[in-house]
Amino acid sequence: MSKSYVIGVDYGSDSVRSVLVDASNGEEISSSVFYYPRWKKGAFCDASSSQFRQHPLDYIEGLEATVKECLSKAGGAAIAKDVKAISVDTTGSTPVAVNESGVPLALLDEFSENPNAMFVLWKDHTSVQEAQQINDHAKKYDTDYLQYVGGIYSSEWFWAKLLHVLRVDEKVRQSLYTWVEHCDYIPFLLTGGTRAADMKRSVCAAGHKSLWSADFEGGLPPNEFFTALDPLLDGITERLFTETYTSAESAGNLSSEWAERLGLSTDVVIGVGAFDCHMGAVGGQIEPYYLSKVMGTSTCDMLVAPKDEVADTLVRGICGQVDGSIIPGLIGMEAGQSAFGDAYAWFKQILMWPVANLLAEAQGIADDDIEKITALIDNQLIPKLSAKAEALPVNIHTELAIDWFNGRRTPDADQTLKGAIQGLHLGTDAPRIFRAIVEATCFGAKSIANRFVEQGIPVKGLIGLGGVAKKAPYIMQTMADVMNMPIRIHKTEQTCAIGAAMFAATAAGIYARVEDAMDAMGQGFEKTYEPRPEMVEIYAARYKRYQEVGQFIESHPAE
């Protein structure tokens, strides 16, 4: 009997990963990773102005390379004939300007080097001003168009980014037909779409980032709302969408062109796309009222709950709650931190500065030796810092940090906020600073869980997903202590890609419901971190200090 295979494609901030999975049991047959070459060079980005753009060719080349390598590793044509579906997840909100044919403008010769014609990565914060204007503007209306996105619009999202691009680039403005999320574009590409108007839009992206709701007439706020905000937005809603689709649905079949490029059949079903954290929560076997934390460069904290139990409860200050955005039939709620792994990476980069800048200038050291030394320090730095930090005593007075190094996503989005480290003295060393940063990221996570509880949505426990959850026991134990609740770590490191595979199996009809795919394909949990009673009390006191310092920073904003 022939088997059924599915492919999950996970677009991250630095790379795209594809996994070939046995749909009957979730076994990973093969995988492949492609690092974006243009992004790796820092092309089209300017960290000093929070501009982070990605070229569509990085995405397209990575898609083809990883899927083909997965098939090649697994046996080529012999296994390709049994591939039933492909589903895709992406970072978000990561939108792009496209023409009427649905082609990203950066793929046209005249825009090939223009960052404003490229995908605006989720962590691009060039539209802080536009986000604030949207927030101020929304207060003028009787209908609360921000009610389903936590009451605050973020510079990381769809409309703020669109308005910024329209304002700063007349050439793009004149050529743009519509504005498209990355997770909607890739299925459109794979199915051979030729009209942007026909693109199936994900309820995940639309509900959490684009102000779409089935409760609004026409789905989106009316044209008048946007025109009054800025005349440059006049007519945009007519070129967007009124319907949305869950990721359990099909976007169509693989086109002849892409079937030939990938070595697959045109019978392969392409699922509707979604954001990485949403599919990651499914890959990590999310349960109602358990906060599933996808921990990478940033975090996405996902929670699902039955509609009848949520009723009219709206959680303020999160990244939205949308019917069917994670699991069809349940209310999906999203929150998160703008910097998690990025905070550790920032500190690591600071400590690596002498290695990168001074060692290269040293006389008498061979290039090969410099590379070996650099690699050794780079690989060992975070593990050694973790071991030293874990051994340090903790009390109410030790160094304290605020985790807003890339602004604050939730609760209450404000990308103008800055991080801080307080209580430094001449005895402060690298492990102590690292400990403060780790604690701060855990305190930021606690503030998210507390917001759900304060607003009437219980949090029964935590599910840890992704590389940080699996590879950083010190951080996870600190998380359990700070949150005062157990955190279960999922076995699958690539939960986003596996979640995409589960959705692919559902879209192909192998399973009737996403929950059935989760039950059959889920790999379970490998470890649980329990809170240590002696640390819970200390961290409760330190969390109060975190709140006090954070309030001070908010009341003294940086100009």
Per 3-state DSSP, the chain is made up of helix, strand and coil in percentages (nearest 5) of 45, 20, 35
Q: Do domains 5-284+493-523 and 341-491+526-555 have the same CATH topology?
A: yes
Distances (CA, A) of 490 to 231, 296, 402, 464, 466: 48, 14, 28, 6, 8
pLDDT at 130 over 90: yes
pLDDT at 348 over 70: yes
Query: Are 280 and 294 contacting, i.e. CB atoms less than 8 angstroms apart?
Result: yes
Q: Assign 270 to helix, strand or coil.
A: strand
Alpha carbon dihedral 304, 523, 494, 498, in 10-degree steps, equals: -70
Average pLDDT (276-300) is 93
The neighbour count for residue 130, using CB atoms within 10 Å, is 23
Cα–Cα nearest to 549, from 386, 425, 396, 428: 396
Alpha carbon dihedral 377, 381, 383, 386, in 10-degree steps, equals: 160
The burial of 42, by beta-carbon neighbours within 10 Å (0-12 exposed, 13-18 middle, 19 or more buried), is given as exposed
pLDDT in tens, 36-88: 999 999 999 998 899 999 999 999 999 999 999 999 999 999 999 999 999 99
Average pLDDT (215-237) is 96
pLDDT at 272 over 60: yes
Average pLDDT (287-311) is 93
pLDDT at 194 over 90: yes
pLDDT band at 466 (very low <50, low <70, confident <90, very high): confident
Q: What pLDDT was estimated at residue 128?
A: 94
Q: DSSP state, 517?
A: H
Q: What pLDDT was estimated at residue 558?
A: 63
Q: What pLDDT was estimated at residue 1?
A: 56
Q: 516 — alpha (psi -120 to 50), left (phi > 0) or beta?
A: alpha
Average pLDDT (397-409) is 94
pLDDT at 467 over 90: no
Q: pTM above 0.85?
A: yes
pLDDT in tens, 365-378: 888 888 898 999 99
Q: Which amino acid is at 391?
A: A
Give residue for tokens 């954290």. 277
Q: DSSP state, 51?
A: B
Q: What pLDDT was estimated at residue 90?
A: 98
pLDDT in tens, 135-159: 999 999 999 999 999 999 999 999 9
Average pLDDT (126-134) is 96
Query: Are 505 and 23 contacting, i.e. CB atoms less than 8 angstroms apart?
Result: yes
The neighbour count for residue 376, using CB atoms within 10 Å, is 11
The correct answer on CATH 3.40.640.10 for the domain covering 341-491+526-555 is: no
Q: What pLDDT was estimated at residue 365?
A: 87
* Main-chain dihedrals φ then ψ at residue 28, nearest 5 degrees: -80, 115
Average pLDDT (478-506) is 96
pLDDT in tens, 72-83: 999 999 999 999
Q: What pLDDT was estimated at residue 262?
A: 98
How is residue 42 written in tokens? Answer: 């820092």
Q: Assign 284 to helix, strand or coil.
A: coil
d(CA 331, CA 335): 13
* Main-chain dihedrals φ then ψ at residue 393, nearest 5 degrees: -70, 150
Query: Which of 3.30.420.40, 3.90.1150.10, 3.40.50.10090, 3.30.110.40 would CATH assign to domain 5-284+493-523?
Result: 3.30.420.40
d(CA 364, CA 373): 14
Alpha carbon dihedral 140, 143, 149, 150, in 10-degree steps, equals: 70
Q: What pLDDT was estimated at residue 326?
A: 95
Q: Average pLDDT, whole number, for the chain?
A: 95
Order of strands across the sheet with 321-323?
321-323, 330-337, 299-306, 290-295, 461-465, 487-490, 525-529
Lowest mean pLDDT among 281-285, 493-497, 555-559: 555-559
pLDDT band at 545 (very low <50, low <70, confident <90, very high): very high
pLDDT in tens, 229-247: 999 999 999 999 999 999 9
pLDDT at 559 over 80: no
Q: What pLDDT was estimated at residue 448?
A: 96
The number of residues in the chain equals 559
pLDDT at 352 over 70: yes
Query: Are 156 and 123 contacting, i.e. CB atoms less than 8 angstroms apart?
Result: yes
Alpha carbon dihedral 316, 319, 325, 329, in 10-degree steps, equals: -20
Instruction: Count Cα atoms within 13 angstroms, Cβ side, for 487.
Output: 32
